[in-house]
Each structure stands twice: as structure tokens, then as C-alpha cells.
Amino acid sequence: MLAVGQVHSMLTGLDWVVIALYFGVLFCVAWWAIRKNKDTAADYFLGGRNLGWWVIGASIFASNIGSEHIVGLAGPGAKAGVALAHYELHAWCLLVLAWVFVPLYARSLVFTMPEFLEKRFCTKSRYMLSIVSIVTFIVSKIAVGIFAGGVVFGTLLPELKITVGSLVIDSFWIGSISVIILTGLYTTIGGMRAVVYNDAVQVVVLIGGSAMLTGYGLIKLGGWGELRSLCGSDMFNLWKPMVPPGVISSWSPVWEKTASGETIRQAWYFNQNFPWLGMAICAPVIGLWYWCTDQYIVQRALGAPNQTVARQGRIFAAFLKLFPVYLLICYALVKSNKVPALTAAFAADPNAAQGAFPLMVQHLLPAGLRGIVVAGLLSALMGSLAGVFNACSTLFTVDIYEKLRPKATQSELVRMGRMATGVMIVIAMLWIPVVKGAHGLYGYLQSIQGYLAPPIFVVFFFGVFWKRLNAKGCLWAMIIGFIVGMFRMLVDTPITLGLFKSYREGSFFWIVNNINFQYFSILITIISAIVMIVVSYMTEVPDAKQISGLTFATATAEDKAKTRASWGKLEVICSIIVLVCITFAYIYFRG
């Protein structure tokens, strides 16, 4: 028997009308994209390689500023301040993609990042990267996106329930499934073209809605000065100390008292979530991997018709990246009690910070505007999921299925891409309990990426700047690096799932589990780099003909001339402006 429980929502009829209108526009755009699609792999996975710069830039931004940012970043922002803004100031990484990697990718004419790795190194490295990338997408981006959709619905519609016999489905799972269905529908049918043009629509709503929420919050608080006063210097400090205040610096384990008065035993290098050393080394490694080598992001550059459009799209995305929402507002509102309902929500639920963004939408905005911001929030969730759905299907189809069935028709490749998306969604949903058990959505995401990104960063960056490194060095660097990263994930998972509270204090697994994830990520980076260099120099020199044009040292004069002709003064000026803005942010948010 199917029954739907009574629903009490802060959303009014006007809000629902606005949301309905938004989704109407969204699906009209998707339908237009579907009608323009041809049943070919190039059109389905890369939008026919004729996307405009503004579409590329908007799609990158919408795919990035998705669930893990709007929902996941709000929680840590409400608790710890601007420390995580390091990840949001990685617009400079987009400039690295625009000026360094775009020429290499444009010359190679590849569909995927593993395909580029195959051309630079070998086929085995392509398979390795494809498999690991798909695993990373499933346990991080897809699972996180689905979870974030559940958080939004669980916060805005907490009493929504569906009863099927003895099974009760709460609002969290209703929201998760709804986001999957809505996003998967236009992604699997429309392909990359539907994704990027919907992203362009979503960016307008996303930026506008977030700006309104920030504005209303500042008005309620009494301005930026009052926000800074309430938060204090520590909340405005990007550079957290390696040793938290009150903890004795020592190489041996020390005793520390928690806020509740409980005495716990830790090591000084274990207990600071985002210390300055980790942010200075680990965060850029993750950022450069994500923005320059991750299929999820780079696929938009591959859809450009030439280097000029690809570069301009990246620079435009870097500008959009300069407008992140620093969700200190929620922290200040709770501390000031300017919105009693918000303060009460945090007092009633210690984990309320997870839903900080939808809570502010619920208790801060008037009817109508609330609907716009909810539409923007849903667009962020759908935009990030849509991008990763398409990236996953591309990796599976082009890098695995087409290799196994080289005679497959274009229609068959598109069909397999759609089927692969469905399978990966199911696997991601089974992984959601691990995400729910983590200490914060954004922290979970960064730790997973910190364990899996370093070897990919190493083989790409070392590979294009160091022509002596060869296929064997690349392959062993990825194998060893991924083994170490997966080992850390497997050690953390039982604790995250709550199977037991902790490993035996002082044991090897306890040490591994308690080492700060950023420091462990740095360790993986160092191991991967050493392995790649040592193995390469112990084996043969790479074939000069194979790597021609795929490293900076092997680019021909014609290649360099073509790249130089693809940019002008405007691109340089805009890039400098982005760097100046980032530098100002680092200076201003220094505590």
C-alpha cells in the first residue's frame, strides 16, 4: 500500500510556482539540445566540439559550484570560518589549464584524459586512469551529489514521507531519488550539449540566488563590519596554525581537553583539520588535478572548436570562481540570535550545520525569493551531477567499452554510455551511508580527493614538463600511489560507518586513521613522484616520435606558433585581473 505523509513546508504557493517555471525553462533547453544532437559519440560526449566560450565557462562554474559547495561548504563555513576558501580561490588553477594544458589537449584531439595519457605514455596507463577516475567519481561526486539532494529535501520538507507497505521512505531519500531522476533524464538523453546549455541557465539563477541570500543575511546582521565583529579574527583567517592553540607541540602523543571537557590523547600533527602547511601543499595538488586533469572539468575544454575558445572559456570560468559565497553569515546569525528560528535549529540539532544553506533559505528569505534560491540550489545539485554523469559515461564508453569492442557503432557507444550512467548511480547510492557517517560533506569530499588525486597529478604534470619520464614510470607511480590512497580509504571506512569507534590506540591502523588527511595526501604525492622518477631513469628513454607535441620540450615550432596566434592582449589582461583579485583575498583574509 502506498501512502504519502502530510507535508508541512516553509515554501509557499508562490515559491512552488517559481520553482516550476524554472524547471520548465530547464527542460525546454534540454529538449532544444536533444533535437540538435546527432547520434554520434563526438556530439553526445563533447557537444560536437563546437561549444562557445561563454557556454564552456558557465558550464565549468555550474559543474564546480554544485552540491559539495552550496550544501557541503556551508557546514564547515558555519563552524570553522573561511579556512576552506583556499579551495575556492583555486581560480588560478583554471589559468594553468587555459595557458598550459589547453594547447596540449587541443593538439591531441582526445575525448578523455586517459586517452591523452595513453598517447603520452601507454595503453595500460589509460586503463588504470579510467578505472580509478570512475571509482573517484562514484564515491565522491555522484555519492556526494545524491547525498546533498537528500540534505536539501530533508531540511526544507522534513515531514515528507512515503509509506510502501512496512517500508517508510523519508524526505532525505525522496529528495535523493528525485534529484537523480530529474538530472539523469536530461543527461542520459541529451548528452553533453544538454548539460552545458542547462548549466548556462543554471549559472544565472545560482549566482543571483546566492547573492540575494548573502545580501539579506548582511542586512539582517547590520553589514559587513558587524559580520566580521561577530565572527572574530580566527573565523576570518585563511591560514590555520599547524598546532592548534592549547595543544602542546610534541612529536610524542599528548593529552588534550575537548570543548566538552573530555580528555583525549592525540598527536599534535593529527588533530588540525586544515593547517596552513596542508593548505599550502595539498590543496594546490588537489586543485591542479581537479581543474587541469579531471575529466569532469576538462571535458568542457575538449568540446571547444579551437584553442582560442577553450582558453577564453577557462578565463571566463576563473572570473565566475571569484564570487564564492563565504557562508560565515550562518555562523554570525546563529551567534547573534538575529534569526531566532535559525539559532533554535542549531541548538536542537548538533549536525544542523550540514543543512546550513537550506536553513538560511528557510528562515531568512521572503516568499517568491525563497523559491528562486531553492531553484538555484537545485540547479547546483543537478548541474554538478549532470556533469559527472556525462563524464562517467564518456570514460566508460570511450576508454573501456570501445577498446573491448572496436567495431561498435556510434549508436551502440551512445547506448552503452547511458546504461553505464545508470549502473554507476546505483553503486553511488549504496555508498551513501559512508558519506552520511563522515564528519561533514565537504571534508569527506576533500579527503577522498586527497587520497586519490596525487598520483594523477604527478603523472600529468611531471609527464608534460619532463620528457625523460616514460610509460613504466607513469604506470608504477599510479599503481603504488593508488594502492596507498585506497589503503587509507579502507582504513577510514569502518570508522566512518560507525562499525567501531576507534582502532586500538597507538596501533598502526590507529596512526594511519588519525593522520591529517592533507599530510597523508602530501605523503602520497611524494611517494608517487619518487616512484615515477626512479623507475623512468632505470628503464628505457621514451620514443621521441611518440611524445612529439605532447610535452613542452617536444612541441614543434609550428605548434608554438599556432598557440601564440590563439591569444591576444585581452586574455592576458583578464588573467592578470583574476590573479590580482586572488592575491587581495589572501591578504584580506589573514585573520
Within 10 angstroms of residue 493's Cβ, the number of other Cβ atoms is 16
Residue 151 phi, psi dihedral angles, 5° rounding? -60, -45
Is 156:374 a contact under the CB 8 Å cutoff?
yes
- Kindly report, residue by residue over 137-191, the tens digit of the pLDDT: 888 777 777 777 777 777 666 666 777 666 667 676 777 777 777 666 656 555 5
Neighbour-count burial of 561, counting CB atoms closer than 10 A to its CB (0-12 exposed, 13-18 middle, 19+ buried): exposed
Strands (E), 32-148: none
Sorted by sequence, the CB contacts under 8 Å of residue 217 that are 6+ apart come out as 329, 330, 332, 333, 360, 364
CATH fold of the domain at 2-240+275-588: Sodium/glucose cotransporter (1.20.1730)
Residue type (1 letter), 306: N
- Residue 440's H or E segment, with its range, is none
Q: What residues does each domain of the chain span?
A: 2-240+275-588
Is 121:463 a contact under the CB 8 Å cutoff?
yes
Q: What is the pLDDT of residue 522?
A: 94
Is 321:574 a contact under the CB 8 Å cutoff?
no
Within 10 angstroms of residue 168's Cβ, the number of other Cβ atoms is 12
- Locus of grid cell 500500500: 1
Burial readout 88-97 (b: 16 or more C-beta within 10 A, e: otherwise): bbbbbbbbbb
Q: What is the pLDDT of residue 393?
A: 77
Q: What is the pLDDT of residue 223?
A: 80
- Kindly report, residue by residue over 528-558, the tens digit of the pLDDT: 999 999 999 999 999 888 888 888 888 888 8
d(CA 149, CA 59): 20
Given a cut of 50, the residues of the chain with pLDDT beneath it are 1-8, 40-42, 44-48, 246-271, 326
Q: What is the pLDDT of residue 541?
A: 93
> The whole model's pTM is what?
0.80
Name 256's bridge partners. 264
Is 141:296 a contact under the CB 8 Å cutoff?
yes
Residue type (1 letter), 4: V
